[in-house]
Structure 1
Amino acid sequence: MRERLSMDRDWRFHLGDPVQAKESSHKAVYGLAKAGGIRGPAGMEWNDNEWDTVQLPHDWSYQQPLDRENGVPDFGYYPRGIGWYRKKFKLDPADQGKQLLLEFDGIATHAAVYFNGSILERNFCGYTSFTVDITDRAYFGDQPNLLVVKVDATVSEGWWYEGAGIYRHVWLTKTAPVHIAHRGIWVNPIRQEAGRWLTNVETTIRNETEAAVEYQLISRVEQADGNIVAEELASGSCAAGQSLAVTQDLPIEHPALWDVDAPHLYKLYSILVVNGEELDTAVTNYGYRTIRICPDTGFYLNDRPLKIKGTCNHQDHAGVGVALPDGIQEYRIRRLKEMGSNAYRCAHHNPAPELLDACDRLGMLVMNENRNFDSSREGLRQLENMVTRDRNHPSVVFYSLFNEEPLQGTPIGRKMVKRMIRAVKKLDPTRPILGAMHGGVMEDEGAADVTDIVGFNYMNGGYDKFREKHPNQPIIGSETVSAFSTRGNYISDDSRQIFDSYDREKASWGNSVRESWKTINTRDFVMGTFVWTGFDYRGEPTPYEWPSVSTHFGIMDTCGFAKDSYYLYQAFWRDEPVLHIVGHWNWPGREGRQVKIMAHTNCDEVALYLNDVLIDRQPIDIYEQYEWDVVYEPGTLRMEGYKGGQLVKAAEIQTADEAHTVRVETQKLALSGDGRDAMAVNVYAVDGQGRFVPTEQCKMSFSIKGSGVILGVGNGDPNCHEPDYAAERSLFNGCCQLIVQSKVVEEDIVLTIEGDGLQPASHVIPVQPVEELPFVPSVDERYINNWLITQEIAAERPDPNVMIHPTDMNSWEMVDVSFGALQMLRGASGYVTYRNQAPISDVEKSGRPYLWFHSISGDIEIYVDGRLQLRQFLPWPENLEVPLLGAELKDQITISVLIGITSDMYSPGIQGSVSIRTK
């Protein structure tokens, strides 16, 4: 049966290219040209004992110090470079004959994947998931497999912080030779009449055997409560070495629809049976929903008109770079949902699979975006990869092919788009396609009128003009606003590179929140908006550069703390009463001076009180809101919101005293004790009465006990240079955040938080026992298995330390001893010599190193650099420990093993792995 195992644990990591001696001998060049002959850090014998041990997902970039002199502002001044990852692991002998597939969800940026000494794959996009078939090259039993990934992050694909490394999950999938193909299931529910649906399922069966097989395919639909609501059986024959697409239609009556407010999901169980045996089972989550676009009235979900209320987002988060745990993916989507958002644009790249899973569960529409505008073979491969991976997600409702491309309004761009559309529609004709354009929309030979939708990036005044020319072309604001604000700040200051929060600071090409939403919401033919951006992100610190290292565009900061515009969007996008006071009421030294206060509300009227004295009551225009200049005096500022003359909402802010301690809020009540679950822990400065202190900036430190680790910290300050990969952080305008991850231990986490001049605070995070996700453990031993052996069996005892001429590839044969005893030695008499070389590190030298032969027999003499280390007779295969004696071990040793054999020996020679260990 199918197994899917996590490969995330315990990788060896080296930042930069390891120093290695240049090898130019015939032996080295000859060996490098052979399968399995890779040497250096991608080779089995490379010593990685002094490399770091890291867990995936892993982003090394944000963990490095900022570099103003050599860094790039667009990348947030974080260095990138080259990194190497190595993982050694064993496979059970029972896995022989299975299909073995490695799945890489994302590596930034270019990657070369080596397996057991050969390069098996190169990937050229940091946002593309890809697979590597290791079936033919895998070892089983005692011999470990070596997986090596070289990551070249000197290459960039974007103009924002992209991170560096294996920053998404890696999986090993094991299947029978006859199996359901990888990404071989496409579920396409088709609505019929009177509440009836046909669940159209296309399942690709793959037969890797050498004979045709008769199969049965059972497709079974279960609803959330586990009840089976549909089942179909198909049978047939699949030829040897071939793939076969099987189509089934499963009828279902009145399914619960997937919607943004009620995201009902179903499971499809695909069961493959051959000769009465279940060989493979795959589970696919999907939903029933319809989408439709109208050039006059916009977007429809399940025949209900729905204004798209979306945000654009990159994929980094405070404390973890782009290596987001799954729990933080969900945290971000929940924060957007709480704001009233119903759509997410993956800007400008294919997202992590777990983000789409969260959108499916929580009811968030998705514009899935292609990274590279490219109609070449490689470009189309990346595009097809996106579609086949993501087309079963009900949340995905748009495919975007490009963003702001110079060729978008040209005949060349038009031809490229047409080719790319054909590639998508061949795999998925159900979703509308667009490009996010910042110009060229009025050109007759451009791309605007060949896509299903035209995406407007800004061009806020161009909607009407385009509609006049193209009345039948649907329009969406694919990127809008680009307003600036700094969380908790209410005075713009160029010298400090911060902005106020009154919705008046914006980029030269952008608009205020209110301007943009009014333009879109008052035009039914514009189906909605994707605001730039939901969250601040590292890099692109527009309009400033150093010391700014992240953006000011976000509705929330890099931690997900709300800026004031968050509540303006709530007022626009949510139905229930919203009333928020823009500003704080802690202004020591400003008594008697005016302070600007603003309302963000969807109420008809707002009354403003200071210390229970009415200052003013004003009707509210939803698109304009209202602001007051209030003479400051400490106390309580209160707003009351009215609808139809009735009080429906109240809000107040108070003058706080000096900070006394902190208040802790967690993303969820508990962590799962699986070693993977993570949560955001938000920390707020409060005074002695528990009131938030919005001006506190003191340094906080964190310690943790129990089954948890602190992955990182952040505070949302776009100009902060404190490290994220740390256990301390300054508050920024009263707030900071930790990312806490569980360990595989059933013990609650106790988090202690201390700050300069503040009372320490303690917070307990319960850890709930859960079944651990199956994973592939790493092997730490260093193996030396590619040995030379004399091809001829000598009748007389030879010199075991004889020199081998560099060009002699014929009197010595290379063998992998882990495969067991050599047939040529059985029944023979005489002598054979094995030869190998192995590097020895300083750590190993100081640790009493020894050779460990997992299985060896015969009349044995073992030499190291010409010196006899051990002589022993073993008539039967046994393991053998050989101390590496000598006052001075070289950095690379030569090992010679002379074995005398007789015809009556059962299994002479080295017949198992050889490793170097230390005591």
Structure 2
Amino acid sequence: MRERLSMDKDWRFHLGDPVQAKESSHKAVYGHAKAGGSRGPAGIEWNDNEWDTVHLPHDWSYRQPLDRENGVPDFGYYPRGIGWYRKKFKLDPADKGKQLLLEFDGIATHATVYFNGSILERNFCGYTSFVVDITDRAYFGDQPNLLVVKIDATVSEGWWYEGAGIYRHVWLTKTAPVHIVHRGIWVSPIRQVAGRWLTNVETTMGNESEAAVEYQLISRVAQADGNILAEELTNGSCGAGQSAVITQDLPIEDPALWDVDAPHLYKLHSTLVVNGEEVDTTVTNYGYRTIRICSDTGFYLNDRPLKIKGTCNHQDHAGVGVALPDGIQEYRIQRLKDMGSNAYRCAHHNPTPELLEACDRLGMLVMDENRNFDSSREGLRQLGNMVTRDRNHPSVVFYSLFNEEPLQGTPIGRKMVKRMIRAVKKLDSTRPILGAMNGGVMEDEGTVDVTDIAGFNYMNGGYDKFREKHPNQPIIGSETVSAFSTRGNYISDNNRQIFDSYDREKASWGNSVRESWKTINTRDFVMGTFVWTGFDYRGEPTPYEWPSVSTHFGILDTCGFAKDSYYLYQAFWLDEPVLHIVGHWNWPGQEGQKVKIMAHTNCDEVALYLNDILIDRQPIDIYEQYEWDVAYEPGTLKMEGYQDGQLVKVSEIQTTDEAHTLRVETQKPVLAGDGRDAMAVNVYAVDGQGRFVPTEQSKVSFSMKGSGVILGVGNGDPNCHEPDRAEERSLFNGCCQLIVGSQAGEEDIVLTIEGNGLQPVSYVIPVQPAEEPPFVPSIDERYINNWLITQEIAEARPDPNVTIHPTDMNSWEKVDVSFGALQMLRGASGYVIYRNQAPVSDVEGSGRPYLWFHSISGDVEIYVDGRLQLKQFILWPESLEVPLQGVELKNQVTISVLIGITPDMYSPGIQGSVSIRTK
């Protein structure tokens, strides 16, 4: 049956190309040209004992010191470079005959994947998931498998912080030879009439066995509680080495629809049966929903008009770079949902699968975006990869083929888009397609009128003109706003490279929040917006460069702390009353000076009070809002919001005392003790009365006990250069954040936070017992592979230390001893010599090294550098320890094993792996 195991734990990592001696001998060159012959860090004998041990997801870039001199502003001044990952693991002999797939969810950037000494895959996109079939090359039993990934992150695909490394999950999937193929399920519900739906299921099964098979495919539709609603059984046959596509329609009456407010999910259970035995099962999550676009009235979800209230987002987060734990994906989507957002643009690349799963669960529409505008074979492969991976997600409602491409308004771009659209429609014809364009929309021979939707990046004044020319073309603001603000700051300062928060600072090409939303919301034919951006992100520190290392565009900062514009969007996007005061009321020594105060509200009237004295009462235009200049006087500033003359909301800010201690808020109430869960822990400075102190900037330190670990820290300051991998962080305008990950265990986490002049706080994070998900453990033993053996059995005892000429590839044969005894030795009489070379100077451990033969028999003599180490007659195969006596521990020693053979020996020779260990 199918198994899916995590490969995330215990990789060896080396930053940069390891130093290795140049090998120019005929033996080295000849061997490297053979299957499994990779040498150096891609080879099994390479010593990685001094390499770091890391767990995935892993991003090495943000862990390096910032580099102003050599760094690139677009990348946030973080170095990238080259890195190597190695993982040694064993497979059970019971896995022989199974199909074995390695699935990489994402590697930044260009990756070369080696397996057991051979290159099996190269991947050229940092955002594309890909699969490596290791079925033919896997070892089983004692012999370890070696997976090596070399990553060249000097190559960039974007103009933002992209990270570097294996920054998403890696999986090992084991299936029977007859199985449902990878991504072989596509569920496409089709609405009929009167609440009736057909669950159209397309299943691709593969037969990697050596004979034709008769199969039975059973598909069952189940509710979230497991209740089976429909079932269909299909019989068929499939030839050896062939695949078959099975189409089924399962009728459903009145399913609960997936919607942004009620994201109901269903499960498809697929079971493949051969000769009465279940050989494979898979479970696919999906939902029932309809989408429709109209050039006059916009977007419809389940026949309900829905204005798209979306944000554009890159994929990094404070503390962890682009290597986000799954729990942080959920945290980010929930923060956007709480703001009133209903849509997420994956800018400018397809995301990690866990983000789409969070969008499915939480009810967030998704624009899934292709990274590279490319109609070549490689470009279409990347595009198809996105579609086949993501098409079962009900949250995905748009495919975007490109973003702001110079060819978007040209005949060449038109031909490219047509080819790309054909490729997508062949795989999924149910979702509309667009390109995110910053020009070229009025060109007759461009791309805009061959896509389903016209995507407008900015061009805020161009909607009406475009509609006059293309009245039947739906329009969406695929990227809008680009406003600047710095969280908790209310005075712009070019010297400090910070912005105020009154929705007036914006990029030259952009608009304020209010301008953009008014333009879009007052035009029914514009189906909605995707604001640049939901979160601040590393890199592209527009309009400044150093010391700014991240952007100012976000509605939330890099930690997910809300800026004031967050509440303006709530006023626009939520139905409930919203009333937020823009500003704080801590201005010591500035009594009598004017302080700008602004309302972000959807109330139609607001009254402003200072220390219970009415200052003003004003009607509010929702697209303009209102602001006051108020003479500062310590105390309480209060707003009252009225709707149709009725008081519906009150908000106030107070002058606080100095910070006294810290308040802790966690993303969720408990952490699962499964070794994979994670949560955001937000820390706020408060005074003695527990009131938030928005001006506190002191540094705080963290310590932790229990089943948890600090994965990273941040504070949302776009100009902060403190490391994210640390146990301390400065508060920025009163806030900072930890990312806490779980370790396998059940011990509650006790987090202690201290700061200069602040009362220490101890906070308990409950840990809920949870089973650790199945994973593939790593091993650290040093193995000696690629033995040579004399091709002919000598009648007379030969010199075991005979010299091998460097060009002699014919008197000796290369063998892999892990496969067991050589057939040619059984029933023979005479002598053979095994020969190998291995380093013993760098064996891990403090004791004396020894050779460990997993299985060996015969009249055995073992020599190291010509010195006899052991002489022993072994009738039956057994394991053997050989201490290295009188051997210089150096980079390379020569190991010779002379085996005397007689016809009555059951299984002579080395017939199992050989490793170097220490005692």
**Cα distance in 2 for residues equivalent to 1:796 and 1:746:** 65
**Cα distance in 1 for residues equivalent to 2:910 and 2:595:** 84
Q: Check conservation: 1:706, 1:749, Cα contact below 8 A.
A: yes
Matched, 1:825 2:825: yes
1:875 offset after TM fit, Å? 1.5
**Cα distance in 1 for residues equivalent to 2:582 and 2:761:** 29
Q: Residues 274-289 of structure 1: matches in 2 within 5 Å? A: 274-289=274-289
Instruction: Give the match for residue 121 of structure 1.
Output: 121
Judged with a 3 Å threshold, the aligned counterparts in structure 2 of structure 1 residues 357 and 846 are, in CA distance, closer, same or farther, namely: same
Which residue identity lines up with residue 875 of structure 2 in the other structure? P
Q: SS at the partner of 1:642?
A: strand
Q: Check conservation: 1:369, 1:401, Cα contact below 8 A.
A: yes
**Cα distance in 1 for residues equivalent to 2:518 and 2:171:** 46
Judged with a 3 Å threshold, the aligned counterparts in structure 2 of structure 1 residues 344 and 767 are, in CA distance, closer, same or farther, namely: same
- Per-residue CA shift, 1:561-612, capped at 9, x if unaligned? 0000000000000000000000001011111101000000000101111111
1:842 offset after TM fit, Å? 3.7
Which residue identity lines up with residue 624 of structure 2 in the other structure? E
Q: Residues 748-787 of structure 1: matches in 2 within 5 Å? A: 748-787=748-787
Q: Residues 643-682 of structure 1: matches in 2 within 5 Å? A: 643-682=643-682
1:887 offset after TM fit, Å? 6.1
Q: SS at the partner of 1:41?
A: helix
Q: Check conservation: 1:604, 1:620, Cα contact below 8 A.
A: yes
**Cα distance in 2 for residues equivalent to 1:694 and 1:862:** 73
Instruction: Give the match for residue 606 of structure 2.
Output: 606
Q: Check conservation: 1:187, 1:199, Cα contact below 8 A.
A: yes
- Tell me the TM-score normalized by structure 1: 0.99
Q: Residues 398-417 of structure 1: matches in 2 within 5 Å? A: 398-417=398-417
Q: Check conservation: 1:297, 1:524, Cα contact below 8 A.
A: yes
- Per-residue CA shift, 1:742-776, capped at 9, x if unaligned? 11111111100011111110110111111221111
Q: Residues 384-783 of structure 1: matches in 2 within 5 Å? A: 384-783=384-783
Q: Residues 177-196 of structure 1: matches in 2 within 5 Å? A: 177-196=177-196
Q: Check conservation: 1:845, 1:889, Cα contact below 8 A.
A: no
Q: SS at the partner of 2:449?
A: coil
**Cα distance in 2 for residues equivalent to 1:111 and 1:345:** 26
Which residue identity lines up with residue 319 of structure 1 in the other structure? G
**Cα distance in 2 for residues equivalent to 1:73 and 1:584:** 32
1:845 offset after TM fit, Å? 8.1
Q: Check conservation: 2:841, 2:890, Cα contact below 8 A.
A: no
Which residue identity lines up with residue 229 of structure 1 in the other structure? L
Q: Check conservation: 1:781, 1:916, Cα contact below 8 A.
A: yes
1:841 offset after TM fit, Å? 4.1
- Per-residue CA shift, 1:461-519, capped at 9, x if unaligned? 00000000000000000000000000000000000000000000000000000000000
**Cα distance in 2 for residues equivalent to 1:415 and 1:917:** 61
Judged with a 3 Å threshold, the aligned counterparts in structure 2 of structure 1 residues 598 and 9 are, in CA distance, closer, same or farther, namely: same
- Per-residue CA shift, 1:831-868, capped at 9, x if unaligned? 11111111234464853111111111112111111222
Q: Check conservation: 1:344, 1:530, Cα contact below 8 A.
A: yes
**Cα distance in 2 for residues equivalent to 1:60 and 1:405:** 30
**Cα distance in 2 for residues equivalent to 1:23 and 1:842:** 20
Q: SS at the partner of 1:471?
A: coil
Q: Check conservation: 1:360, 1:394, Cα contact below 8 A.
A: yes
Which residue identity lines up with residue 497 of structure 1 in the other structure? Q
Q: SS at the partner of 1:464?
A: helix
Matched, 1:237 2:237: yes
Aligned residue-pair number: 919
Q: Check conservation: 2:841, 2:889, Cα contact below 8 A.
A: no
Q: Check conservation: 2:345, 2:530, Cα contact below 8 A.
A: yes
Which residue identity lines up with residue 373 of structure 1 in the other structure? F
Which residue identity lines up with residue 444 of structure 2 in the other structure? D
**Cα distance in 2 for residues equivalent to 1:148 and 1:605:** 64
Q: Residues 283-302 of structure 1: matches in 2 within 5 Å? A: 283-302=283-302
Q: SS at the partner of 1:449?
A: helix
**Cα distance in 1 for residues equivalent to 2:533 and 2:886:** 64
1:886 offset after TM fit, Å? 3.0
Q: SS at the partner of 1:853?
A: strand
**Cα distance in 1 for residues equivalent to 2:840 and 2:311:** 54
**Cα distance in 1 for residues equivalent to 2:331 and 2:420:** 34
Point out the more displaced range, 826-835 or 264-273.
Answer: 826-835
Matched, 1:93 2:93: yes
Q: Check conservation: 2:319, 2:714, Cα contact below 8 A.
A: yes
Judged with a 3 Å threshold, the aligned counterparts in structure 2 of structure 1 residues 581 and 459 are, in CA distance, closer, same or farther, namely: same
Q: Residues 34-53 of structure 1: matches in 2 within 5 Å? A: 34-53=34-53
Instruction: Give the match for residue 849 of structure 1.
Output: 849
Q: SS at the partner of 2:888?
A: coil
Which residue identity lines up with residue 825 of structure 1 in the other structure? L
Q: SS at the partner of 1:260?
A: coil
1:624 offset after TM fit, Å? 0.3
Which residue identity lines up with residue 638 of structure 2 in the other structure? R
Q: SS at the partner of 1:759?
A: strand
Which residue identity lines up with residue 802 of structure 1 in the other structure? V
Instruction: Give the match for residue 75 of structure 2.
Output: 75
Q: SS at the partner of 2:758?
A: coil
Q: Residues 164-313 of structure 1: matches in 2 within 5 Å? A: 164-313=164-313
Instruction: Give the match for residue 904 of structure 2.
Output: 904
**Cα distance in 2 for residues equivalent to 1:284 and 1:848:** 53
1:803 offset after TM fit, Å? 1.0
Q: Residues 797-808 of structure 1: matches in 2 within 5 Å? A: 797-808=797-808
Matched, 1:860 2:846: no
Point out the more displaced range, 798-807 or 164-173.
Answer: 798-807
Stretches of 4+ aligned residues off by more than 6 angstroms = none
Which residue identity lines up with residue 677 of structure 1 in the other structure? D
Q: Check conservation: 1:47, 1:840, Cα contact below 8 A.
A: no
**Cα distance in 2 for residues equivalent to 1:106 and 1:883:** 44
Q: SS at the partner of 1:78?
A: coil
Q: Check conservation: 2:106, 2:166, Cα contact below 8 A.
A: yes
Q: Check conservation: 1:329, 1:354, Cα contact below 8 A.
A: yes
1:874 offset after TM fit, Å? 1.4
- Per-residue CA shift, 1:265-318, capped at 9, x if unaligned? 000000101111000001000000000000000000000000000000000000
Which residue identity lines up with residue 889 of structure 1 in the other structure? L
Point out the more displaced range, 104-113 or 872-881.
Answer: 872-881
Judged with a 3 Å threshold, the aligned counterparts in structure 2 of structure 1 residues 841 and 167 are, in CA distance, closer, same or farther, namely: farther
Instruction: Give the match for residue 154 of structure 1.
Output: 154
Q: Check conservation: 1:857, 1:909, Cα contact below 8 A.
A: yes
Q: SS at the partner of 1:557?
A: coil
- Per-residue CA shift, 1:159-207, capped at 9, x if unaligned? 0000000000000000010000100000000000000000000000101
Instruction: Give the match for residue 816 of structure 1.
Output: 816
**Cα distance in 2 for residues equivalent to 1:458 and 1:80:** 31
- Per-residue CA shift, 1:674-697, capped at 9, x if unaligned? 100000000000011101010110
Aligned residues with identical type, % of pairs:
90
Q: Check conservation: 2:782, 2:843, Cα contact below 8 A.
A: no
1:240 offset after TM fit, Å? 1.2
Q: SS at the partner of 1:907?
A: coil
Q: Residues 2-81 of structure 1: matches in 2 within 5 Å? A: 2-81=2-81
**Cα distance in 2 for residues equivalent to 1:869 and 1:501:** 77
1:885 offset after TM fit, Å? 2.8
Point out the more displaced range, 785-794 or 546-555.
Answer: 785-794
- Per-residue CA shift, 1:328-384, capped at 9, x if unaligned? 000000000000000000000010000000000000000000000000000000000
Instruction: Give the match for residue 789 of structure 1.
Output: 789
Q: SS at the partner of 1:760?
A: strand
Q: SS at the partner of 2:128?
A: coil
Q: Unmatched 5+ residue regions in structure 2?
A: none
Q: Check conservation: 1:482, 1:506, Cα contact below 8 A.
A: yes
Which residue identity lines up with residue 915 of structure 1 in the other structure? S
**Cα distance in 2 for residues equivalent to 1:428 and 1:107:** 26
**Cα distance in 2 for residues equivalent to 1:896 and 1:710:** 49
